[in-house]
Amino acid sequence: MGCMIEYERWLSSPLMDEQNKRELQSIKGDNAEIEARFNSMLEFGTAGLRGILGAGLSRMNIFTVRQATQGLASLICSQGKEAMKRGVAIAYDSRHMSKEFASESARVLAAAGIRSFVFDELRPTPELSFTVRELKCIAGINVTASHNPKEYNGYKVYWEDGAQLSPDHADIVLKEIRDNDIFNDIHTMPLDKAEKEGFITYIGKEIDEKFIANVLAQSIYGDEVKKVGDSFKIIYTPFHGAGYRIVPEVLHRLGFNNLICVPEQMVIDGDFPTVVSPNPEDKDGFKIAIEMAKKEDVDLIIGTDPDSDRTGIIVRDSAGEYISLTGNQVGVLLTDYIISARIEKGMMPKDAAVITSIVSTHMTAEICRRNNVAIYEVLTGFKFIGEKMKEFEDTGSNTFIFAFEESYGYLAGTYARDKDAVIASMLIAEMAVFYKQRGMTLYDAICALYKKYGYFAERTVSIKITGNDAQIRMKNLMANLRENSPRSVADVDVIAARDYLKGERVNLKTGEKTSTNLPSSNVLYYELADKNIIVVRPSGTEPKVKLYLLIKGADADDAKNILDKYENAFRGLLK
């Protein structure tokens, strides 16, 4: 049994540290657990690595991190000595083992003759993206599992443009990982030697200042904020993560002098003790903040996830209840605000462009259409947004003003190439001031947008796939949908089907095929006769298939009925 052989090899390796050895000894005789840990390697893709912390091939530990970094080092060395000199920026979040994984990555790079610029403490993911560009590094590493539960950690790799690795580069790293033995082919330099010989440079507040300056430069309504900043209250929580220092600093500098931070959640702690999961999409994580808001009479709560790239907000509705807004709702609010405020301030470029993903709300397109702003849809993943931004710069075709994904990720400005909860927090806060001066809350604002543009609604359904063969079952499910494309859903005709893996759109009435004009990706996209949309894609980080429903109804009740109808019907097709 291959799993057992690999397990024994790990257990007897002279490189195995005591902690991992004790963990492996504790599962001796548990064949199911051994198989789960050693039946396959962690998958490395454009999103890097992500997995449960622990010993084993399919877990996040110093050995899997070293192996991934050896693969990255090979890619960098293949680019020549100049690339090696440019080096790699390394950041990490508040999760368990994040700092250690960052250090191990730097040691592997040093052994390969590659410099590292390592942050002196945890930093937001977007600051890592900014740093790669600012220091002109060849690559970047960020140790984080974003908003996953405390049992997880991850490893993201960025290239010289500040965006996550392209599929071609990710494939090169993956090949190197598979070709290198996890013990015998991985080389490290002692930390003190790497520091002494100049392979590791520690960076800190000097980069913070440059990053903050770039964020503040994107403010549109800053002058108005300063007029009301002493009285306008906001509650902020970093969920025990990397936003704890930078986000409040940016808000204070903009003029928000009445910022209230949730003290329990300002504590850096990889156990995330005050929440079940540190996910700003989950309203339950805001319980403490909501209680504070009731006492302080606050209309707006902002929360950022552990690596500070996603932003969630809680607002007070017309009945005085605190409710969460979806990523799509915040995205359309920011889109409309940025366009409206730029026009008001005379800051709107003639060739302005907004970028969203194919699974994000179509309300954005309507907002852009009515304001003569170009809109571009890309595949899911901010690396594709980054690629489109680079295309704008290279061709001069458009001026980028905003991008977002439905998964609570937002960016304005070209200083970074990843979603940024720091700038999102700033823009959300000043947007609240924009509406406050018009006698409106953000809840009032989203209601007004529905009246103006139509009642668009969205729902993301996650269908978990269980068992050790989850990846195979996900693959088979997608293959079955491709072979048996639905002709109708809930008695509504499917008029066209896009298969982004093949890169083609098929008109199901005429059979005509056209290109999707986007990179290959395992996504199926169905256009219905009522102009509503259903999208199916497997998760890149977890064993589940995601179903995206993008619809437009007459009002909230009608939208819910349409969403329920399509969810129930399509769930039947996925069995």
> Measured between alpha carbons, how far is 5 from 468 in angstroms, rounded to an integer?
18
CA distances in angstroms from 391 to 384, 454, 492, 545, listed in the order given: 11, 32, 38, 31
Is 3.40.50.720 the CATH classification of the domain at 211-267+280-453? no
Over the stretch 393-451, which tens digit does the pLDDT of each residue have?
A: 999 999 999 999 999 999 999 999 999 999 999 999 999 999 999 999 999 999 999 99
**Contact of 444 with 435, CB cutoff 8 Å:** yes
For residue 463, report the phi and psi dihedrals to the nearest 5 degrees: -105, 105
Task: For the domain made up of 40-203, give the CATH fold.
Answer: Alpha-D-Glucose-1,6-Bisphosphate; Chain A, domain 3 (3.40.120)
Tokens of 236: 């902020």
CA proximity to 36, closest of 466, 343, 458:
466
Angle (CA) 17 10 101, round 5°:
50
Q: Which residues, other chains included, contact 62 with Cβ-Cβ below 8 Å and sequence gap of 6+?
A: 17, 20, 97, 100, 101, 104
> Measured between alpha carbons, how far is 271 from 95 in angstroms, rounded to an integer?
8
Q: What is the pLDDT along the chain (575 residues), one digit of tens a residue?
A: 589 999 999 999 999 999 999 999 999 999 999 999 998 899 888 788 999 999 999 999 999 999 999 999 999 999 999 999 999 999 999 999 999 999 999 999 999 999 999 999 999 999 999 999 999 999 999 999 999 999 999 999 999 999 999 889 999 999 999 999 999 999 999 999 999 999 999 999 999 999 999 999 999 999 999 999 899 999 999 999 999 999 999 999 999 999 999 999 999 999 999 999 899 999 999 999 999 999 999 999 999 999 999 999 999 999 999 999 999 999 999 999 999 999 999 999 999 999 999 999 999 999 999 999 999 999 998 999 999 999 999 999 999 999 999 999 999 999 999 999 999 999 999 999 999 999 999 999 999 999 999 999 999 998 888 776 777 888 888 888 998 889 999 999 999 999 999 999 999 999 999 999 999 999 999 999 999 999 999 886 677 889 999 999 999 999 999 999 999 998 887 76
> Measured between alpha carbons, how far is 462 from 460 in angstroms, rounded to an integer?
7
Q: Which residues, other chains included, contact 349 with Cβ-Cβ below 8 Å and sequence gap of 6+?
A: 399, 401
Q: What is the CATH number of domain 455-573?
A: 3.30.310
* Strands of the 139-143 sheet, one edge to the other: 49-52, 152-159, 139-143, 88-92, 116-119, 200-203
| Displacement of CA 102 from its chain's centroid (Å) | 19
> Measured between alpha carbons, how far is 102 from 174 in angstroms, rounded to an integer?
19
Tokens of 39: 């039946």
What sign has the CA pseudo-torsion 192, 193, 197, 200? negative
Over the stretch 196-229, which tens digit does the pLDDT of each residue have?
A: 999 999 999 999 999 999 999 999 999 999 999 8
- Would you report the helix, strand and coil content of the chain in percent, each value rounded to 5? 40, 20, 35
CA distances in angstroms from 181 to 38, 58, 106, 319, 363, listed in the order given: 14, 14, 19, 61, 49
Q: Which residues, other chains included, contact 513 with Cβ-Cβ below 8 Å and sequence gap of 6+?
A: 504, 505, 506, 507
Tokens of 502: 């093949």
Tokens of 310: 């996603």
**Contact of 47 with 164, CB cutoff 8 Å:** yes
**3-state SS class at 336:** helix
Q: What is the DSSP string of 374-440?
A: EEEEE-SSHHHHHHHHHHHHHH---EEEEEEETTTEEE-SSS-SS--HHHHHHHHHHHHHHHHTTT-
- In CATH terms, are 211-267+280-453 and 455-573 the same topology? no
103, 116, 129, 146: which is the annotated catalytic residue?
146
User: What amino acid occupies position 2?
Assistant: G
**Active-site residue, 231 included:** no
What sign has the CA pseudo-torsion 238, 243, 246, 251? negative
> Measured between alpha carbons, how far is 107 from 191 in angstroms, rounded to an integer?
6
**3-state SS class at 494:** strand
Q: What does the domain layout of the chain look like in residue ranges?
A: 40-203, 211-267+280-453, 455-573
> Measured between alpha carbons, how far is 455 from 149 in angstroms, rounded to an integer?
33
**Contact of 305 with 253, CB cutoff 8 Å:** no
Q: Which residues, other chains included, contact 353 with Cβ-Cβ below 8 Å and sequence gap of 6+?
A: 373, 374, 375, 376, 392, 398, 399, 400, 401
**Contact of 105 with 143, CB cutoff 8 Å:** yes
> Measured between alpha carbons, how far is 527 from 517 in angstroms, rounded to an integer?
17
Phi-psi region of 320 (alpha: psi -120 to 50; beta: other; left: phi over 0): left
Largest Cα–Cα distance of the chain, in whole Å? Answer: 70
Over the stretch 468-484, which tens digit does the pLDDT of each residue have?
A: 677 788 888 888 899 88
